[in-house]
């Protein structure tokens, strides 16, 4: 099994006419003696949905935190719109973050704010828009995710699926060029997962942008992805178009994408 090919195919992506506003090169991250990311290379195609699949604890959330500038690499580069986000000033990094939306794993809503105020938060914080303008934008976003009648509710007064949708509305409220989703399907039953995946596809076709979604759920990946990357032991071991990955004869890719226990992948 060759792991070099994945890196090459990720690099080659630049040559085939696909633009990439996010590029990760040789990313290393350890916590103490524990190596999480061990030389991760990846590019994310603009205007497409890329899914990164990997088992729990493989560093998917750690990867997203590097991409949004919350964690600094031990080694390697994170390029967003062609700029290494750790070689620019904190102010520039902060401005860059206003062009990214993030749906965190747990929705990350403020518990003491209602759904309207949670969704309005980035606009109040980062823009000079008037409250009338904010109301117009927030209600449009909440309507898109089906929460127009729940805007007065606190996060703990609505279901997990509704919290995810509120987090999604908030992630999109600044019209971001890049949207990150950290396990949007976690904690949802299969029906709500499927509905949320439909919503992701609808919102992408409506607003476009570079979407990066990490998950361990193969059904989610199958449904929403244009491209898939597989991470294993801190590296990208396969990257390519979703149709090709799901039709792959490679025993490693097949085992990974079928979720079977028999095959070249072991527990260690
Ligand atoms: N801030 C941290 N300090 C120490 N260990 C961490 C930290 N963040 C993540 N880890 C560890 O790194 C590994 C990868 O974590 P994570 O990216 O959250 O995995 P997942 O793929 O499930 O999202 C886990 O073993 C986790 O315990
Ligand atoms: Mg995670």
Whether 268 is covered by a domain: the verdict is no
Residues 92 and 31 in one domain: yes
Q: Looking at the whole model, is its pTM more than 0.75? A: yes
Contacts of 251 (CB under 8 A, 6+ apart): 1, 263, 264
What one-character DSSP code corresponds to residue 139? H
CA angle, residues 200, 205, 207, in degrees to nearest 5? 90
Residues 159 and 181 in one domain: no
Q: 73 in helix, strand or coil?
A: coil
Residues 21 and 77 in one domain: yes
Residues 213 and 157 in one domain: no
Question: How many angstroms is it from 119 CA to the middle of ligand 1?
Answer: 28
Residues 158 and 48 in one domain: no
Q: 78 in helix, strand or coil?
A: strand
Nearest to 232 by CA among 47, 39, 46, 81: 39
Indicate whether residue 36 lines ligand 1 (CB < 6 A): yes
pLDDT for res 6: 43
pLDDT for res 110: 93
Residues 214 and 91 in one domain: yes
**Ligand 1, pocket-test mutation among 36, 105, 213, 230, most atoms within 8 A of CB:** 36
Q: Which ligand 1 atom is at minimum distance from the Cα of 63?
A: 17
Residues 63 and 110 in one domain: no
Question: How many angstroms is it from 124 CA to the middle of ligand 1?
Answer: 31
* Most distant pair of Cα atoms in the chain: their distance: 58
Q: Which ligand 1 atom is at minimum distance from the Cα of 71?
A: 1
Q: Which of 119, 135, 167 is where one domain is finished?
A: 167
Give per-residue burial for 149-163: e unless 16+ CB within 10 Å, then b.
ebbebebeebeebbb
Q: Which of 147, 167, 187 is where one domain is finished?
A: 167
pLDDT for res 259: 67
Whether 91 is covered by a domain: the verdict is yes
Q: CB neighbours (10 Å) of residue 231?
A: 24
What one-character DSSP code corresponds to residue 1? -
pLDDT for res 240: 93
Whether 264 is covered by a domain: the verdict is no
Whether 227 is covered by a domain: the verdict is yes
Query: Atom 5, ligand 1: which residue's CA is nearest?
Result: 31
pLDDT for res 262: 61
Residues 155 and 222 in one domain: no
Whether 266 is covered by a domain: the verdict is no
Asked if 212 contacts 61 with a C-beta cutoff of 8 angstroms, the reply is no
Whether 203 is covered by a domain: the verdict is yes
Residues 90 and 181 in one domain: yes
Q: What is the pLDDT of residues 211-232, one digit of tens each?
A: 999 998 888 999 999 999 999 8
- Residue 230: both structure tokens together: 């597989």
pLDDT along the chain (268 residues), means of 10: 40 61 95 94 94 90 93 95 92 90 84 96 94 96 92 93 91 93 87 89 92 91 94 90 90 78 60
Asked if 24 contacts 78 with a C-beta cutoff of 8 angstroms, the reply is yes
CATH number at residue 47: 3.40.50.300
Task: Please state the domain count of the chain.
Answer: 2
Indicate whether residue 234 lines ligand 1 (CB < 6 A): no
Question: How many angstroms is it from 79 CA to the middle of ligand 2?
Answer: 22
| 211/44 Cα distance (integer angstroms) | 8
Domain containing 91: what range?
2-99+176-258
CA angle, residues 100, 220, 57, in degrees to nearest 5? 75
| 256/239 Cα distance (integer angstroms) | 13
Indicate whether residue 33 lines ligand 1 (CB < 6 A): no
| 133/171 Cα distance (integer angstroms) | 18
Indicate whether residue 85 lines ligand 1 (CB < 6 A): no
pLDDT for res 190: 86
Q: Which of 167, 185, 220 is where one domain is finished?
A: 167
Asked if 180 contacts 102 with a C-beta cutoff of 8 angstroms, the reply is yes
pLDDT for res 112: 94
Indicate whether residue 60 lines ligand 1 (CB < 6 A): yes
Indicate whether residue 43 lines ligand 1 (CB < 6 A): no
Whether 252 is covered by a domain: the verdict is yes
Indicate whether residue 61 lines ligand 1 (CB < 6 A): yes
Residues 32 and 73 in one domain: yes
Indicate whether residue 57 lines ligand 1 (CB < 6 A): yes
Indicate whether residue 56 lines ligand 1 (CB < 6 A): yes
Question: How many angstroms is it from 3 CA to the middle of ligand 1?
Answer: 23
Residues 88 and 118 in one domain: no
């Amino acid at each position: 099994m060759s792991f070099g090919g994945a890196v090459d195919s990720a690099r080659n992506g630049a040559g085939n006419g696909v633009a990439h506003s996010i590029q990760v090169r040789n990313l290393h991250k350890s916590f103490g003696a524990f190596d999480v990311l061990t030389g991760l290379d990846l590019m994310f195609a603009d205007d497409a949905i890329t899914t990164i699949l990997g088992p729990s604890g493989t560093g998917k959330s750690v990867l997203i935190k590097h991409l949004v500038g919350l964690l600094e690499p031990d080694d390697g580069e994170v390029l967003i719109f062609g700029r290494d986000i750790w070689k620019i000033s904190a102010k520039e990094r902060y401005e860059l973050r206003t062009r990214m939306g993030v749906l965190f794993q747990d929705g990350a809503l403020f518990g003491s704010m209602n759904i309207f105020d949670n969704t309005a938060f980035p606009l109040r914080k980062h823009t000079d828009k008037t409250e009338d303008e904010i109301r117009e934008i927030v209600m449009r976003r909440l309507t898109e995710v089906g929460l127009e009648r729940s805007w007065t509710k606190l996060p703990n007064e609505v279901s997990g699926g509704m919290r995810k949708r509120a987090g999604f509305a908030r992630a999109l409220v600044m019209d971001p060029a890049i949207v990150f989703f950290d396990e949007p399907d976690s904690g949802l039953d299969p029906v709500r997962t499927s509905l949320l995946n439909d919503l992701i596809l609808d919102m992408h076709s409506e607003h476009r942008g570079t979407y990066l979604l990490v998950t361990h759920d193969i059904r989610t990946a199958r449904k929403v992805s244009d491209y898939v990357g597989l991470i294993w032991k801190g590296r990208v071991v396969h990257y390519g178009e979703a149709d090709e990955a799901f039709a792959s004869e490679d025993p490693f890719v097949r085992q990974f994408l079928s979720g079977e226990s028999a095959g070249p992948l072991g527990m260690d």
